[in-house]
Structure 1
Amino acid sequence: MDSEEDDKYVWFPEPGRGTGVFSASDTWRAMNPYPIEVFWHEVMWFTGRIPKHAFIIWVAAKDRMVTRDRLIRWGLSVPSTCFLCTGHDECRQHLFFDCAYSNQIWAFFVSQLNFVSPQSFEAVFRWLKAPSRNKNVTLIIRLIHQAVLYLVWKERNKRIHTAVEKPPRTLIAETQQIIKLRLDPLTRRQIIPQGQDSVLAT
């Protein structure tokens, strides 16, 4: 109290650790010292991803999508049927893999690549960690997976709020266009070893 010098504030997230200067990242680490590493992080946040697609997949992976089964669990009085096929109750697993509508889209791309993919939501994530020995093919499959889930979710929401419906072949064409547009700039930045194809050529 008797000092003529002004008070100086210093920030130490933990005793004896830090520079005295506030850091948001150090504060986060102090508040969350043991982050849980999930097995699907590299499948979602890979280099070359489309950010808005990755975000939707992250929400789905955390099982936080506002599907009808969750709305019913919250106590809301809503129909339980899937908006895309109207034949089964809507949940995350059904919406993206069991529904005849979305399954037709995902199955088209898997068959084009001559792969057999699992049909369980989490099993697909595990499969996407290493679906191919070819890095280009792995990137393409991950991009397709995210694009398909993103467009299916978008189509589901559009049907709820408007009377417009798109057939599966339209979403297949949209996915193909999205992938081609994404691969073009990725190819321009890619360093291609002699004798190998670019990701766009693949």
Structure 2
Amino acid sequence: MLVCEVGNGRSASFWHDNWTSLGPLIDITGPRGPAVTGLSENEVVAGAISNGAWWISRSRSRNRFISLLRECLPEVAPILSSEVDDIYLWKPGNNAASSSFSTANTWEALRTQGETVFWHRQVWFQGRIPKHAFITWVTARDRLGTRDRMRRWGLQVPAGCILCNAADESRQHLFFDCCFSAEVWSFFCARLSITPFVIFEDGLRWLSNPSSDEFLKLIIKLVYQAAIYSIWKERNARVHNQSFRPARILIAEIKQVVLARLDPLSRAHNSRRTDTTLLGTWFGRF
């Protein structure tokens, strides 16, 4: 990612610096390149020029390394006439070379590019609660250890939903078909004047623009993720600790957590509107 913009060629390494469009020349010829061509491995670009031309241009050798270098080397005239020093620039991926370092561009160039999903902004929105967003992300990728998945792995676990004992546990049932979860969703959907979700993926799509009001949109996203997190937490508490809580306790917990998150967010958002506040929108519904 480090490229050299050659000026007078007095500091750029001929073999090791990335100063041609093909990258470091040593990567093209291999470690035998300097020995075969007769140019020291420590030579600078200017040192490879002799009598106004590349030293290698006078060679009559048919060695493949020398022939390859002839094709790779640029014109010498700009280097001979230059009065500026060589400079080194940062060039991550397909971005333009720059004298400044960008962490974001470097990360994008280094990371493995995954498949683009439609729900990324519904999960990783500004103002989210990190642990809620993480569980929502795992759920959206259908990677939670629900009982249907564990049974497919060959584990001998009960198939039934521990929240309602009325059907087999799956992602769709646990969060939307289960009567326990439905009680949680019904409370918040009624207060927010929205229709309860039916299919998990449909809920994620709807969250991309659940309201024209920016404050209400943020509240809906926070409530959605808090509900996903709390339902999964309750499910695990029943499986591992035999601890059972009614839906009304989860509702109260979700309200408390979301309100605590809205308090600092409200101070940051209030300057953007004069008709109401983020907390005012919350208390108007709850």
Which TM bucket (shorter chain)?
0.7 to 0.9
Give matches, 1:94-133, under 5 Å: 94-133=173-212
Partner Cα separation in structure 1 for residue 107 and residue 185 of structure 2: 42
TM-aligned CA distance change 1:168 to 1:27, over 3 Å: closer
2:129 to 25, 41, 50: 50
Give matches, 1:126-141, under 5 Å: 126-141=205-220
SS in 1 for 2:160: coil
Q: Which has the larger radius of gyration?
A: 2
Where does the alignment leave 5 or more consecutive residues of structure 1 unmatched?
6-10
How many angstroms does 1:132 deviate by? Answer: 1.0
- The aligned counterpart of 1:32 is 112
Q: State whether residues 118 and 127 of structure 1, in contact with CA within 8 Å, keep that contact through their aligned partners in structure 2.
A: no
Give matches, 1:50-199, under 5 Å: 50-190=129-269, 191-194=271-274, 196-199=275-278
Partner Cα separation in structure 2 for residue 151 and residue 31 of structure 1: 32
How many angstroms does 1:80 deviate by? Answer: 0.3
Instruction: Work out which structure has the larger RCO, using CA pairs closer than 8 Å and 6 or more positions apart in sequence.
Output: 1
SS in 2 for 1:200: helix
How many residue pairs end up in the alignment? 197
Q: TM-score by structure 2 length? A: 0.62
How many angstroms does 1:117 deviate by? Answer: 3.4
Letter in 2 for 1:135: E
Letter in 2 for 1:199: L
Q: State whether residues 117 and 127 of structure 1, in contact with CA within 8 Å, keep that contact through their aligned partners in structure 2.
A: no
Where does the alignment leave 5 or more consecutive residues of structure 2 unmatched?
1-33, 35-39, 44-89, 282-286
Q: State whether residues 105 and 169 of structure 1, in contact with CA within 8 Å, keep that contact through their aligned partners in structure 2.
A: yes
Q: TM-score by structure 1 length? A: 0.86
Partner Cα separation in structure 1 for residue 206 and residue 225 of structure 2: 14
Deviations 1:77-132 (A, max 9, x none): 11100111111100000000111111100111001112113310000011111111
What is the root-mean-square deviation of aligned Cα atoms in Å? 2.9
Q: State whether residues 147 and 159 of structure 2, in contact with CA within 8 Å, keep that contact through their aligned partners in structure 1.
A: yes
